[in-house]
Structure 1
């Protein structure tokens, strides 16, 4: 098994825009193939050679990847994304990629979806996205679910960006229990046996 520093790195962009009563995020559905088959995710992908600019560190490489992937996948050009979180994959994951999540204010432009990588895309409130997952309508992966949960209740884009602060490190542990699969991070447990998922703070 590779050590954490040897893992591939990716960048993900969580795009925000103002909406009546709060904020909306951009979620897109992947095709029914690959690691995220049919799931609703934020734009993003692995760091490529062109993302490694001027000897920048890993976080900046991931930031460049998030910006590039957002342009390629949904046609939006974003600037100055703020680091939100770093997700370390569990040891048993079939594909292990360390992923940085970034928050960004969305530009006022129309979406231009990549036919190869995006089946659909919608602007929705974090609360509505979690409700669709709870009803079994949408597939979400734990990092997406946790990010949406953290954005619930935010009233403005500025509030969400200011609340990001220092990027939080989520080192994921997956535990199989008689009650089902549990995802653990420092001080938190996400119980996924049945819908809706249940987040328990330690």
Structure 2
């Protein structure tokens, strides 16, 4: 797995800005011409990378660490801790990635069950979290939902360099798109949404049409050259 602390790349020292844990998720789907990934343009007024095209994601919430997620977000906790090189509660990164996807794109990765109604419930969850952003656990408990965490593959780790107004220790995950759930941007953090091939996203950036930050550029480069989603997912990331 790629781990890159951009401070070390620049040789700069770290100021007194807290580095917050965060998670990003890259959804992949098959399409004519090859696999595409879900990308969103951040609000230009955002303090952090405003106007840039990114994958859905954001900082972890305190609630993401709740012990009840060990049941509702089933991962091998010991293996997850080792994979992410944290002392405990690495499952919070899986929770955060899935939650952010709901908030920003209206897509919910939940296991198939009588309680999960697919697209309708995903949008209902997005609406719920817009009003109660700290109650994702309560929503899943009330609706008897289990997160489909086993679909996520851990891809990489990026630490925001010195000089930014906010700094994050971000874990990137890959996951297959749940068919039938079309993305719906929240209109607050994300103002545009599209499915795009990694090659086309990089071409937009090269032409000056899209702003991309370094972690996004390098991730897109890593995902280029695959003929279908299955091959892309097979050759990238690590499952628990």
1:110 match: secondary structure: coil
2:58 match: secondary structure: strand
**Is 1:82 equivalent to 2:94 in the alignment?**
no
- Over 3 Å counting, the alpha-carbon distance change for 1:58 and 1:93 in structure 2 is farther
RMSD: 2.2
**Is 1:64 equivalent to 2:95 in the alignment?**
yes
2:167 match: secondary structure: coil
5 Å matches for 1:8-157? Answer: 8-34=20-46, 35-54=48-67, 57=88, 59-78=90-109, 79=148, 80-108=151-179, 109-157=181-229
Cα deviations by residue, 1:45-75 (Å, 9 ceiling, x for unpaired): 1000121132763542122111001011110
- Over 3 Å counting, the alpha-carbon distance change for 1:25 and 1:115 in structure 2 is same
- Of structures 1 and 2, the one scoring higher in RCO (CA 8 A, sep 6+) is 2
In 2: Cα distance, 1:163 partner to 1:96 partner:
29
Report the alpha carbon displacement of residue 93 of structure 1 after superposing the two structures with TM.
3.5
Contact 1:30–1:117, Cα closer than 8 Å, also in 2: yes
- How many residue pairs match? The answer is 166
Report the alpha carbon displacement of residue 89 of structure 1 after superposing the two structures with TM.
2.5
4+ residue runs of structure 1 moved beyond 3 angstroms?
Answer: 1-4, 55-59, 91-94
In 1: Cα distance, 2:173 partner to 2:182 partner:
21
In 1: Cα distance, 2:32 partner to 2:90 partner:
33
1:186 aligned partner = none
More helix by share: 2
- Over 3 Å counting, the alpha-carbon distance change for 1:129 and 1:7 in structure 2 is same
- Over 3 Å counting, the alpha-carbon distance change for 1:11 and 1:124 in structure 2 is same
Unaligned runs of 5+ in 1: 168-202
In 1: Cα distance, 2:30 partner to 2:190 partner:
23
Contact 1:59–1:100, Cα closer than 8 Å, also in 2: no
TM normalised by structure 2 equals 0.64
In 1: Cα distance, 2:38 partner to 2:157 partner:
19
Report the alpha carbon displacement of residue 3 of structure 1 after superposing the two structures with TM.
9.3
More strand by share: 1
TM normalised by structure 1 equals 0.75
